[in-house]
Amino acid sequence: AQSVTQLGSHVSVSEGALVLLRCNYSSSVPPYLFWYVQYPNQGLQLLLKYTTGATLVKGINGFEAEFKKSETSFHLTKPSAHMSDAAEYFCAGLGAGSYQLTFGKGTKLSVIP
Amino acid sequence: NAGVTQTPKFQVLKTGQSMTLQCAQDMNHNSMYWYRQDPGMGLRLIYYSASEGTTDKGEVPNGYNVSRLNKREFSLRLESAAPSQTSVYFCASSEMGGVYNEQFFGPGTRLTVL
């Protein structure tokens, strides 16, 4: 069964520092993978997605993620954190042909001035 | 283009009361979903509707029922609310499954059951 694990429920970075949020998936077939962001008291918004093809995926707001099959990972990065990046981030995976997204438990990102 | 809308935004119920959460999308999407979000648990799928006229159970369906009223609307009903159903409920929609399963989320309904 598909599962998604996010390492670290809380991550703090200084403004201008690298953001790295970790996500690992388990699956016997390459999945479709997504990163969503949730700002306080709002719904989820798609940051980026991996389906097939290029393993480095660029998303909105300067975020990108790299699909590494050998490591079963799909970590989210941003070179320089902004205060506006403070939010909760969710990694999600979808098995081929499935309608069911499996979400990780989320990582809350704090940005320190 | 409003995307996914949900009503109400907030609701307080007493144990045993019933209520229906409403969801509508204007993106002509085929598939719709209901999730609940609890602290430290991420989002868990309650029910989904792959297409108009079909519904299927997700990870946590007990205590809930759904109706896909038409292509636009998908409602979630709590027949006899329990404190364990205190949560934030999100509706989402997508064009369809598989690679087209980029899900668009509504703003959520915060439900408290006393």
pLDDT single digits (tens) A1-54: 678 999 999 999 999 999 999 999 987 666 789 999 999 888 999 999 998 788
pLDDT for the residue A1: 61
Q: Do A32 and B101 touch (CB under 8 A)?
A: yes
* Chain B contact for A43 (CB, 8 A cutoff): yes
Q: Which chain A residues in 82-111 lie under 8 Å from chain B, judged by CB atoms?
A: 90, 94, 96-101, 103-106
Q: pLDDT at position B102, please? A: 86
Look at A99 and B56 and tell me if their CB atoms are within 8 Å: yes
Q: What is the mean pLDDT of residues A58-84?
A: 95
- Among A42, A105, A14, which Cα is nearest to B105's? A42
String of b and e for B26-53 (b: at least 16 CB within 10 Å)? eeebbbbbbbbbeeeebbbbbbbbbeee
- Structure-block tokens of residue B108: 């959520």
Closest among A86, A1, A80, A97 to A38, alpha carbons compared: A86
Percentages (nearest 5) of helix, strand, coil residues in chain B: 5, 50, 45
The highest-confidence range among A22-31, A94-103, B18-27, B37-46, by mean pLDDT, is: B18-27
- Contact assessment for residue A85 and residue B92, using Cβ atoms and an 8 Å cutoff: no
pLDDT at A97 over 70: no
User: ω into residue A30 within 30 of 0, thus cis?
Assistant: no
Q: How many helices (H) and strands (E) does chain A have?
A: 0, 11
Give the gap in angstroms from C-alpha B15 to the nearest C-alpha of chain A: 25
Mean residue pLDDT across chain B: 93
Angle of CA points A72, B97, B48, to nearest 5°: 105
